[in-house]
Amino acid sequence: MLEALKERVYKANVELVKLGLVLFTWGNVSSVDRSTGLIVIKPSGVEYDKMAPGDMTVVDLSGKIIEGALKPSSDTPTHLELYKAFPNIEGVVHTHSKCATAFAQAGRSLTAYGTTHADYFHGAVPCARGLTTVETEFEYEKNTGLVIAETFISQGFDPDAVPACLVKSHGPFTWGASCEAAVYHAAVLEYCAEMALMTESLGAAAPAPQYLLDKHYWRKHGKNAYYGQKEQGH
């Protein structure tokens, strides 16, 4: 099971490069096995084309290294806090993708301007506050995860319906029911951020009507979803 998870996490990290979401070593993917509480994550500072599945590092929810010769990503404490705060997720991604990071650097939430956004995010993607001097000085990466969780709790966001957050002056984090889903959401987030920048350049500033956003989100998600094909035998 653990070896299979290493293979999946490795492939998910490589997928970030294929999708143009990272340069050099600017990103990481992890996945948690909820049955054991073990997390597999990219090793710190290792170039994607020089990695292998066996290079993935295994840690527990306290951050203790369980397996692996390489140090885990420096963002590991952020991933751990997200797994603790959002019990339904099993994959986390962090990138510095260009357009989503531009919104983060501006301290801006990503407005839902249209149905493409609404198909994946039920409302705006929030931007968490910047960290204080103390939060940055002590346990910076852990506090990054905590401010994301704080944002979702204080603003009433559902992490299952909005599987992404921007962190002010930093960049985007996404998650999902698997590491593959988290990568998918990272790609969608970047595409929506690029479209939002283009939309704003044309003078638009208001979100799409809520009834339209709701329609597009719920036709893909929830018990009455009808987008796509039914499973065989159902």
User: Rounded to whole angstroms, how far apart are CA atoms 220 and 113?
Assistant: 18
Contact 88, 187 (CB under 8 A): no
CB burial readout 47-70, b (16+ within 10 A) else e:
ebeebebebbbbbeeeeeeeebeb
Q: What single letter denotes the amino acid at residue 185?
A: H
- Beta carbons within 8 Å of 16's beta carbon, 6+ residues apart: 22, 27, 29, 48, 93, 95, 183, 186
Look at residue 82 and give its three-state secondary structure.
helix
Is residue 140 part of the annotated active site? The answer reads no
Which is catalytic among the residues 119, 140, 160, 191? 119
Is residue 227 part of the annotated active site? The answer reads yes
Residues identified as active-site: 119, 227
